[in-house]
Structure formats: structure tokens, C-alpha cells
Structure 1
Amino acid sequence: MYSPSDFPPFAVTVDLVVLTVRDDALCALLVRRGEAPYRGRWALPGGFVRATESVADAAVRELAEETGVSGLFLEQLATYGEPRRDPRMRVVSVAHLALAAGLPVPVAGTDAAAARWVPVDQAPALAFDHSRILRDGVERARAKLEYTPLAAEFCGPEFTVAELRRVYEIVWGVPLDPRNFHRKVTGVEGLLVPTGETTGRDGGRPAAVFRRGPAQALYPPLVRP
């Protein structure tokens, strides 16, 4: 017969990997912990799920409380449940991911002593297992650019192929061959719509100007080198 006493209690938390492009770098939203454990260490935003709320609601609440950032689409990234990942007690964390453009300067709140955008390649060692969660989130975000038109959101309403390529280079963290990239993106049905205009803002010869097309998925996908 089932008995609750046979199973020790444990807590559920949420951790948020929130990424954007700022100053030509892929940046993650980090908070400095204001309370033990790991007081003073940088970490991902997050916290405990309340008994009366869903995991999804907890993710939205914790992000807003600790950083002032709201209104994002948050997708579940993975679940992390190593027995000793939290020194306080057994804690299972459901991590969430957001990759979005135009995100504001964060404002720290509740138990976060500070909040800021940090380039992912300059992130310090994070509290708990958050460095691992951040790596997993960055990898998921990079993969999303292979099969979704998300990169175009980081460009203006009208953009050149070179400007779009720069977004891919920043998020993927690798340089891309201009000719190959141009051939691939212009070959994806519904990704780009020509405006009929040209611009010289990229330098060199005038470049064609595009706007985002109706495609919701990229086929063929843009595979990372």
C-alpha cells in the first residue's frame, strides 16, 4: 500500500535561460544572489515553485520578480535532478529557455542583489549547476536558428542578407562564408521577401533589401558548419 512517508519530500524550482543579442554578442540574463546558499555568486534567475501555482506560472513570476523582464515566450528546456545539486535539500529544477530581441535592461528584485546581461562567452562560474543549464540553453538556442526564422527578429523590419548573417554568426559563435550563406537563405522558401530596394550600408556594392517572409519553419534547414 502506498504511504507518503515512504518517499521523502523534495522541492521543485524553475531556472531561466534568457538570451538576447546586445552589442554584437550573445548575452544571458544573470542575477547576483542576495541570499544563501551561494550568496554573492552569479546565477540564472529562478526560484521555488509555490504549492498553488504551475511550473509555467512560476517561471513567469520568478523572471519578473528577480529581473523585471516579462512578456516572453518561455519553453521548457530540460529537468535537472541530481541528488546533491542544491545544498539545502533535494531540489528538482525545471529549466526554461527564451531567445528574444529587444529585451530591456533588467532591474533586480526580491532576493536578487543585481541583474545584468552578460556575454555567454564571458559568464563566470555560476551557482548550483547553472553553468551546465546555461550551456544546454545556448545549445538549444543555436539549434533553433537552424530550423526557425527566429534570427530575422534581431534585424530591423527591412534588412540585408549580410545583416541576417551577422545574427547567425553571433548566436552560433562562428564565422560564415558570405556566398554560401546567401545561397542557402535565399533558397529557403518563404524566409525572405525582396523589397525591390538596395542599400550601401553594408559597404561595397549595393545590397538587396529584404523583409521577413511568412515561413514558420526553415526547409531546408540552415545547418551549422
Structure 2
Amino acid sequence: GGGRVALTNRVMRHYNFLAFTEMATRSLHMIFSTIMSTWIQASFGQHPKIAEYNALTDKVVSATAHVYKTVLKELLPTPAKSHYTFNLRDLAKTFQGVLMGDTKRLTEPEDVVRLWIHECNRVFADRLINKDDHAWFLELITSQVSTRFSLEYADLVPGRLMFGDYIVPGAEPRLYQQVEDFDKLVKTMEEYLDDYNASTTKKMSLVMFLDAIEHVSRICRIIRPPLGN
């Protein structure tokens, strides 16, 4: 990428150089297909639409692998975008996010696709820094939804798309589910803020509007999984 300085052989002679080839697409597909199919069978094995859920395994894995490889190829690091470095951890985090979903709320196969879109946005799109890159990524996801799942992005995501485990304060376990009532979400976040201010002498005077709440939701998504931060 731009801005990288090549190391001279004089410097490199002091180090051992290790390298490995990129994992083949077939291997990626086998690994993550096993993970997805196991989760689907455990979660939806008794569902009347189990055949449709099973069909999602290949579609989700293929779509995610395509998104990952396209991002890896097109979104290269530059001096202004030095953090545009993606690796297999990002691919794994996407599936990790999908598997966090509360399966009781994923009552239709389309709900799983919607969750997949959200996780792709959290893993890849949240790292992008300008409107052009965001528009490019949205087009990439939209095309995958159409070609892989035979669905329309606008039908699945008519507005804001948010998943989180903060919807029910004090819940145990905390269920990762889609936010459907945004008015209720604002009130819930204000309650969280009031609880915090009641427990500290350094109060935070914040206005919890939806854009701010969306950032809070992203942070919650980051710290939820083990070693997420």
C-alpha cells in the first residue's frame, strides 16, 4: 500500500522471515460451512422451515467470503487509510456476530440475512472513513443480497439496522436481537444514562439522539464477544 517503506536486506538479515500462503477459498468454505450448519441445526432443527435455513449455510458462507476477498483486494491501505488492513480475523468476526443472534427472534430465514448484513457492516463498514467507501461497500452488500439470497436490500433494511444486547436492562442472559422500536430504545438509553449519573459524582450531560445511540450500539457490539476489544 502507499506510504509503506521497504526494509533493506541489510536490516532484514538480522531477522527470521516467516510467510504462509493465503488460505484457499475451498478451505474457508469448508471451515465456516461446518460452523454455520452446526449452529443452524442446533438452533432451527425443529423449525418448519428448516430446509430454508439449511440453504442459508452455503449462501452466507459464499457471500461472506466474497465480501472479504473483495474488500481485501479493493480497500488497500494508504497514508490516509492506514487502518484499512483486513485479515481472516475479520472474516471470523462476521460469523461470530451472526452466531451471537438470539435464535428465538430469528423466526424467518430473512432475519438471519438481516443479521448477516448488520455484522458485515460492523466488521467492515465501520472501519471506512468517507462517503465514497461507504457507498462502495453498500453496493457490494446490496449485490450479494440480490445474487446470493435472491432478496432486495431495500426490503430487508428499510431504515436503520441495529442489533444489540442492551434492549432489556438487567436481562440475564443478555440477548443479542434486532432493535425494532427506536422510541423505546431512546428511553432505554436515557435510563442507562440516569443510572450511571446516579452512581457517580462526575455526571454526563448527554443528549441521547439516534446517531449517538448508534455509536453506543457499535461499542456494545465490539466489547460483547470474548476478546472483542
Q: Same fold (TM over 0.5)?
A: no
Greater RCO (CA < 8 Å, at least 6 residues apart): 1
Give the alignment's TM-score, normalised by structure 1: 0.28
| Structure 1 or 2: more helix by fraction | 2
Give the alignment's TM-score, normalised by structure 2: 0.28
